[in-house]
Amino acid sequence: MSLFLLLILVAVVLGIVGFAAHGLFYLLVIGAVILLADLVYATLRLRHRGRHHRIAR
């Protein structure tokens, strides 16, 4: 969970710097790519975690 939050924070910071600084549009693009990759990672983890059900005896 902490990796997910760290990547979200990095994506937001890069996006803000890329948007605010003239000539650093590539940082905005990198931030967007990191955000998308993080969302895919979280989705895959949630799907994988949901498949393992413990059988109560």
pTM here? 0.67
Question: In the prediction, which pLDDT does 49 show?
Answer: 65
**Cβ within 8 Å of residue 13, ≥6 positions away:** 31
Question: In the prediction, which pLDDT does 54 show?
Answer: 65
The count of other CB atoms within 10 Å of the CB of residue 18 is: 18
Question: In the prediction, which pLDDT does 17 show?
Answer: 87
pLDDT by position in tens, the chain (length 57): 677 888 888 888 888 888 888 788 888 888 888 889 888 988 888 776 656 656 666
